[in-house]
Amino acid sequence: MKKDTKNDQKPETNSSMEELKTNLENKEKILQDYVNTLQRLQADFDNYTKRVHKEREEVQKYASAKLAIKLLNILDDFERTLKLVEKTNDKSLIQGIEMMQKQIKKILEDEGIKPIQAIGTKFDPFKHEIVDLQNGKEDDTVIEEIQKGYAMHDKVLRTSKVIVSKKEENKEEK
């Protein structure tokens, strides 16, 4: 009878070993799932911090845009005033206006604001606003600038108001 007892214990031991092995495999799988989840969370957090840092830089870069737009209107007024005052030939008044105009331009330039080149360039709807069309030799070329446009770094603050040429069609071709 003793032999039978030994034979009975072996299958139980084998089944216990298999249970332990299965249990260990399940725990390893759960542990790997936790590791994967933590890695994804770490990657998500890293992406979040990079995005927040980039957004903060954007806000700082364009923080003065509203003020700049208001200053652009003042700069336009100075240019119009200068044209009127030049007719009076009052040298000291002209110099004073030119000095103020230069100071405003310097402030804007320090903030990364520059005029958009318009005359002689191809019409770009992102940089130019058409005020009028006139017949010309070339199609879609800016021939006159009514109001200057300005860009801050890589964004347009105000489009240039322009007159664009349209190529004349020959009557003989029709």
DSSP 55-90: HHHHHHHTTTHHHHHHHHHHHHHHHHHHHHHTTTT-
Question: Spelled out in words, what is the top-level CATH class assigned to the domain 114-174?
Answer: mainly beta
Task: Answer for the pair 147, 160: CB distance below 8 angstroms, yes or no.
Answer: yes
Both tokens of 131, joined, read 């005020």
Q: Enumerate the domain spans of the chain.
A: 114-174
Task: Output the tens digit of pLDDT for each of the chain's 174 residues.
Answer: 445 544 455 556 778 888 888 888 899 999 999 999 999 999 999 999 999 999 998 888 778 888 888 888 888 888 888 888 888 888 888 888 889 889 988 988 988 899 999 898 898 889 999 998 988 788 888 888 999 999 988 889 899 999 999 887 654 444
Determine the Cα–Cα distance for residues 116 and 114; give it in Å rounded to an integer: 6
Both tokens of 124, joined, read 């770009």
Determine the Cα–Cα distance for residues 105 and 111; give it in Å rounded to an integer: 10
What is the per-residue pLDDT across 143-152, written as a single tens digit (0 to 9) for each?
A: 889 999 999 8
Q: What percent of the residues of the chain are helix, what percent strand, and what percent coil, each to the nearest 5? A: 60, 20, 20
Determine the Cα–Cα distance for residues 6 and 9; give it in Å rounded to an integer: 5
Determine the Cα–Cα distance for residues 69 and 115; give it in Å rounded to an integer: 12
* pTM of structure: 0.61
Query: How far, rounded to the nearest angstrom, does the alpha carbon of residue 154 sit from its chain's CA centroid?
Result: 7
